[in-house]
Structure 1
Amino acid sequence: MTAPGPFSHLPDVPVFGLTSRSFEDGGILPPPQRSGRMHAGGADESPQLSWSGAPDGTRSYTVTVFDPDAPGSGGFWHWAVLNIPADTTSLAEGAGAEGGPQLPPGATQLKNDAGFRGYVGAAPPPGHGQHRYVVSVYALDVEELPGGAGAKPAGLGSELARHLLGTATLTGVYQR
C-alpha cells in the first residue's frame, strides 16, 4: 500500500524542474542526507537542490522534505523552509543546518518532527523497509507565508492551496 502525499488535496498546477547534485530522482539517499542525530550513520545535511521553469508571477518558494512511509499516522517531516525569495533557484547542500546560516535572507525554517528548525536526515526504523523521502518545491504568489514560532509543516496545506502556482518534486529512498 502506498501512503498518500502530505498535501494530496492541493490544486492541479503546472510542474517545473527540480534536480539535485546530492542524489538522483528515485535514487538512494547518500550518507550526508541520512541522520546522525537519529543514529542512521549520516550527517543531517539537506540535499543540494536546483529548480527552473517556475510559473510567471512566482514571488517565493517553500521547500519540504517528507517521509510518507514513516510508522504511525501522518508520516514524518524532515524539513520545511518558507519564504525563499523568488530570485533564488538553488540551495546548497547543508543549507538546512539548524539556524539556517546558508539560507537566503528572509527564509524561515519550521520545526521538523525531530523537534528543531532545520533538516534531519533519513532514519527509517531498522527492518521497516524502504522509505521514500519526497522533496517538494512550491512556487507561490506571495512573498511570505505565515510561519510563526508554533507553525508546523503539516499545517502548511491550506496556505499552500491558496497561493500555489506550481510544484516540483524529487524523491530519494533509503532503508536500513
Structure 2
Amino acid sequence: MKLKALAPAITLIMAASGHAASLSLSSPDIADQRPLTHLQEFNSFGCNGGNTSPALAWTNAPAGTKSYAITVYDPDAPTGSGWWHWTLVNLPTTVNSVPANVGANLPAGAVQGRTDYGQPGFGGACPPVGDAPHRYQFTVWALKVDKLPINNQSSGALVGYMLNANSLAKATITASYGR
C-alpha cells in the first residue's frame, strides 16, 4: 500500500533525471576504448612520438560550474601510484574546447601543473616496452570554484586532490597505448 502511494513521486523523479544531460567529452583525435596514435606518444624516455595533446570539447556542464580542468592520467603505470600526463586548470566557463597541441596558446589564467615527467604541460603516452597497453584517462572536470591555487610546479597528486574536493561533474575518454 505504501509503495503504491510513492509511485507518482518515483515516476516524477525518474522522468526529471531522464531529461538532465550530463557533462560529456568528445575529441576528433582520440576515442573511448581505442588506441592513441603516435602523435600522442611522448618524445623522450625512450619514446619518439609527437607529444601532441589531442583536441577536446565538452558540453552539458552542470548548473553552478565556475571553471573547468583537464587531466590525463595512466592508472597502469608501474609506479604504485599511476602517472600524471597532464593537468590543466582554471579554464574559464567561456571555454568549452581546446585545440590539439594547445600548450603555448592557453586561455588567460589557465595553468598547467607539473607532470610526472617533471615538467608542466602535456606529456604523452610512454608505457614500458612489452607492457600490456596502458589506459589513458582524458578527463574534463566541471568545478564549483573560479580558480584553484595551482601553479606550474603543482604535482598531479595535489591537483587531483583539489579537483576531487571541488568537482561538480566529470567526463572521461579512456584510450590505450602500448609499445
Q: TM-score range by the shorter chain?
A: 0.7 to 0.9
Judged with a 3 Å threshold, the aligned counterparts in structure 2 of structure 1 residues 50 and 149 are, in CA distance, closer, same or farther, namely closer
Q: Tell whether the 8 Å contact from 1:141 to 1:165 is kept in structure 2 after alignment.
A: yes
Q: 135, 139, 143: which one pairs with 1:140?
A: 143
Given candidates 130, 152, 157, the residue that maps to 1:127 is: 130
Q: CA RMSD in A?
A: 1.4
Unaligned runs of 5+ in 2: 1-20
Question: Contact conserved, 1:55 with 1:166, CA < 8 A, in 2?
Answer: yes
Range with bigger deviation, 15-24 or 143-152: 143-152
Alignment of 1:1-176 (within 5 A): 15-95=22-102, 97=103, 101-148=104-151, 150-176=153-179
Q: Secondary structure at the match of 2:31?
A: coil
**Unmatched tracts of structure 1, length 5 or more:** 1-13
TM-aligned CA distance change 1:120 to 1:149, over 3 Å: closer
> What TM-score, normalized to structure 2?
0.84
Larger displacement relative to structure 2 (151-160 or 54-63): 151-160
Per-residue Cα deviation, 1:109-156 (whole angstroms, up to 9, x for no partner): 000000111111100000011100001111001110010354211123
Q: Which has the higher helix share?
A: 2
Q: Deviations along 1:35-76, whole A, 9 cap, x unmatched?
A: 112332311111110000010111101110000000021001
Preserved contact between residue 112 and residue 151 of structure 2 (Cα < 8 Å): no
Q: Is the 8 A contact 1:92 1:102 kept in 2?
A: no
Which of the two has higher C-alpha Rg? 2
One-letter amino acid of the counterpart of residue 42, structure 2: S
For the residue of structure 2 that corresponds to 1:18, the secondary structure is strand
Length, aligned pairs only: 159
Paired with 2:138 and 2:47, the residues of 1 have a C-alpha distance of 19
